[in-house]
Amino acid sequence: MRKWRSKKWQRRMALRLDYNYMMSDFIGVKHGIEEKDLAGLGEISGRVHLALKEKREKGRIGFFDLPYDRETAAKITAFAKPALKRFENVVILGIGGSCLGARALHTALAGGWWANLAGRKARGRIPRFFFADNVDPEGFSRLMNAAAPKKTLYLAISKSGTTAETMSQFLIVHKLLEKEVGRKKVAEHLVVLTDAQQGRLRNIVDREGLTDFIIPDNVGGRFSVFTPVGLLPAALMGIDLELLLAGAAAMDQRTCREDFLSNPAYLAAALLFLADRTRGKYVTVMMSYSDALWDVADWFRQLWAESLGKKLSTSGNAVFTGLTPAKALGVTDQHSQTQLYMEGPFDKVLVFLAVESFACRVPIPALYPELPDVHYLGGHTMEQLFTAERLATEYALAQADRPSFTITLPEVNPFTVGQLLYLLEVQTAFAGGLYNINPFDQPGVELGKHYTYGLMGRSGYDGKREEFENRQPKKDKYFL
């Protein structure tokens, strides 16, 4: 029996949510949530729960059921097994929700950019991973030079197939492969992840016979980490997909509960919603006390911002909602951001990511007995110092009446990371319901895209280019 099948191991690996420092008992009524505030959400939370449940059952929101799609996981594993042996590098061509989940998984579970520096054996015989989620010509050129095409597998990930950044990268890579490996072998190096029917990439896949994986229609980009968008890269990183999905499924057992006080995702959303609406705290700082979880905070930043930042309510009224996400790294940012968090405006909630047990123990040697201010560190471990710094920061913030809560992972492994990502997705979906907005669309991103299309000469967007050009500010005013 594999260890994750044991109920005992799963119970030991369950994520914990400690929200004491959100509550008025610890930080006072002015900044802390009272139990009666939470009780007051009972009715709306019941309504939001039922609406989400119905949409899940009708298949309108697809991310909820992804942990149970073992067929896709098996298909991905079968593809990845020989590929991860064959290729020295994997390059992800994608942006936003089509990239950030894979990067979070790589940093959390496959060694992150450190792994790219190590030799193949030290990396556990997995390829090096690169994420081309920008079109800065210098950055992209450096990346292209770092990965020799003959030894590289490129994953072009775009649900729509029209994203200018990803499609420009795709065109460049396609041409490069034609030159470097020959037209006939392009398909061996280029895999496409896109929508089943729509999208320009689907058209190209069918014409050129490229290997492809489907991004389900009912799953939006930023909720797609448990589709092939996250799972294919994960498999190529050597991550145990079964364990990752088992973690997500275990969290689903907790986050499908109607009672929001015993549902960690609903409760986290409710706390952040109340802190905003009743105490004016509209900034959510996710502070990871784990290098491995740093890019989870980055992934969450997109999920939270793009899902909740909305002009219109579901009934079409202008509401201009949103919680501004920020990310911070413990302890690094204690020497950069904590001064602001302690003494600046009372506009933030800190969400700490904590790890209980680290994979290695680093003892600190007891040197320089004649220097007591340095010597006291000796005999401890770095893990003890790291944990003490987190506990001290959480406590100090509470002393300054700054609300925070902590999500603790017993250790960083695919099962706990699967739980964490799923938790944050449900938290976001539920928060959207509390704010009465649609967390699954992103109309505000479209306008900028349309002007870009106009400037780049895409047909049908001439009007946008003309409008842009005619309304440019005069350079003799407000200009240095």
CB of 53 to ligand PA5, least distance (A): 23
Does the CA dihedral 191-448-280-270 come out positive or negative?
negative
- Of the pair 334, 442, the CB lying nearest ligand PA5 is at 442
CB-based contact 312:439 (threshold 8 Å):
no
CB of 188 to ligand PA5, least distance (A): 23
Which residue has the CB atom at the shortest distance from ligand PA5? 221
Across the beta sheet with 16-18, the strand order is 16-18, 404-409, 348-355, 283-288, 324-329
Report the b/e string of 415-444 with b at 16+ CB within 10 A: bbbbbbbbbbbbbbbbbbbbbbbebbebee
Strands 211-215 and 152-157: unpaired
Q: Which of 55, 75, 449, 450 is catalytic?
A: 449
Q: Which stretch binds ligand PA5 (CB under 6 A): 96-104, 243-251, 272-280, 324-332?
A: 96-104
| Interface map 97-116 toward ligand PA5 (x if CB under 6 A) | xx------------------
Decide: is 452 part of the binding site for ligand PA5 (CB under 6 A).
no
Q: Which of 165, 306, 394, 425 is catalytic?
A: 306
Decide: is 247 part of the binding site for ligand PA5 (CB under 6 A).
no
Q: How many CA atoms lie within 13 A of 465 on its CB side?
A: 11
Q: Which stretch binds ligand PA5 (CB under 6 A): 89-97, 263-271, 314-322, 332-340?
A: 89-97
CB of 157 to ligand PA5, least distance (A): 6
Which of the residues 24 through 43 are near ligand PA5 (CB under 6 A)? none
Q: At what angle do helices 200-208 and 164-181 cross, to 10 degrees?
A: 20
Q: Which of 7, 8, 30, 335 is catalytic?
A: 335
- Cα 460–chain centre separation: 34
CB of 425 to ligand PA5, least distance (A): 12
Choose, by CB under 6 A, the member of 37, 306, 394, 425 that binds ligand PA5: 306
Is 449 a residue of the active site?
yes
**Whole-Å CA distances, 373 to 11, 111, 141, 179, 396:** 41, 34, 48, 62, 21
CB of 93 to ligand PA5, least distance (A): 10
CB of 216 to ligand PA5, least distance (A): 12
- Of the pair 84, 92, the CB lying nearest ligand PA5 is at 92
Which amino acid does the sequence have at 192? V
Is residue 84 helix, strand or coil? Answer: helix
- Of the pair 156, 407, the CB lying nearest ligand PA5 is at 156
Which of the residues 423 through 442 are near ligand PA5 (CB under 6 A)? 442
| Interface map 148-177 toward ligand PA5 (x if CB under 6 A) | ----------xxx--x--x-----------
CB of 302 to ligand PA5, least distance (A): 6
- Of the pair 223, 461, the CB lying nearest ligand PA5 is at 223
Does the CA dihedral 279-283-284-285 come out positive or negative?
negative
- Of the pair 96, 233, the CB lying nearest ligand PA5 is at 96
Cα–Cα distance measured from residue 265 to residue 269, given in angstroms and rounded to the nearest whole number: 6
The string of DSSP letters for 264-320 reads HHHHHHHHHHHHHHHH---EEEEEESSGGGHHHHHHHHHHHHHHH-EEE-TTS-EEE
- Of the pair 63, 405, the CB lying nearest ligand PA5 is at 63
Choose, by CB under 6 A, the member of 32, 67, 96, 101 that binds ligand PA5: 96
| Interface map 203-222 toward ligand PA5 (x if CB under 6 A) | -----------------xxx
Phi (first) and psi of residue 350, to 5 degrees: -95, 130
And the tokens for 7? 């109920």
Is 188 a residue of the active site?
no
Is 411 a residue of the active site?
no
Q: How many CB atoms lie within 10 A of CB 387?
A: 16
Q: How many CB atoms lie within 10 A of CB 74?
A: 12
- Of the pair 220, 228, the CB lying nearest ligand PA5 is at 220
Size of the site for ligand PA5 (CB under 6 A): 14
Catalytic residue numbers, as ranges: 306, 335, 449
Q: Give the footprint of ligand PA5 on this chain (CB under 6 A).
A: 95-98, 158-160, 163, 166, 220-222, 306, 442
